[in-house]
Amino acid sequence: MVSNIINQFCEEHSDNENQLQQKIREYTYKNETYPQMISGILVGNFLSHLIKMSKSKKILEIGMFTGYSAASMVRALPANGSIDTCEFIEQHINTAKQFFQKSKYKNMITIHHGPALETLKKFKNKFDFVFIDADKMNYLNYYLECVRLIKKGGIIVLDNMLWDGEVIQPKDKQAKVLFETNEYIQKDKRVSNFLAPIRDGLMVCIKK
């Protein structure tokens, strides 16, 4: 949503990646067909700073891809923190595992393979922080499950909520679902929220 020059300037004036993040990013751009699906340096920093500020310990992620966002979030956690991350595509799981298992965070990240909605229904404990960045057609369903799973004062972040600006006048199915999700959250009295034009749009919700 901003120019490449501005984006680069912001990255250069933000915290540097750690070694795990850098390795995952470089692998993704070298080997993945759609590397732009990676959350990236700015979103990674945004997430990690929110986690630090909120002192979150128990994180839920929906949509892991190659593991960059999980790597960004886990670095912000205390030693007793944890991430449960949901991913449907086995290839992405295998990619992320090869990086996680060689890192100092290997015991802090649990990967759940399968349809995320099925996995979410199995969770009983509350989470402090949720990041949603998965298939867009289920975004509203993911949000509804996460409102149930997030503790009072907990934070839910949804990525791609501007969808390259297409939510303004939605035409395709994904844009329409994201528009509907934005509208639903805006009217949801259970949360306070703001939509930030960071990268492709980040919706931040705090459960009241």
Domains of the chain listed by start with CATH number:
4-207 (3.40.50.150)
**pLDDT tops 80 at residue 99:** yes
Confidence category of residue 156, pLDDT binned at 50, 70, 90? very high
All residues at 6 or more sequence positions from 190 whose CB lies less than 8 Å from its CB, including other chains: 147, 207, 208
**pLDDT tops 90 at residue 1:** no
Angle in degrees, CA 163, 149, 196, rounded to 5: 30
38-48 per-position pLDDT tens digit = 999 999 999 99
Mean pLDDT for 156-170 is 97
Which pLDDT does position 78 carry in this prediction? 98
Element (H, E) at 139: helix 139-149
Q: State how far the Cα of 128 lies from the Cα of 58, in Å rounded to an integer.
A: 5
The region that residue 164 occupies, defined by phi over 0 for left and psi between -120 and 50 for alpha, beta otherwise, is left
53-92 per-position pLDDT tens digit = 999 999 999 999 999 999 999 999 999 999 999 999 999 9
Mean pLDDT for 96-125 is 97
Q: State how far the Cα of 189 lies from the Cα of 137, in Å rounded to an integer.
A: 23
Which pLDDT does position 2 carry in this prediction? 80
Confidence category of residue 127, pLDDT binned at 50, 70, 90? very high
Which pLDDT does position 43 carry in this prediction? 97
Average pLDDT over the chain reads 97
152 contacts 54 by C-beta, under 8 angstroms: no
What stretches of the chain adopt beta strand conformation (E)? 58-62, 82-87, 109-113, 127-132, 150-158, 191-196, 202-207
41 contacts 14 by C-beta, under 8 angstroms: yes
Q: How many CA atoms are closer than 13 Å to the CA of 96, on its beta-carbon side?
A: 27
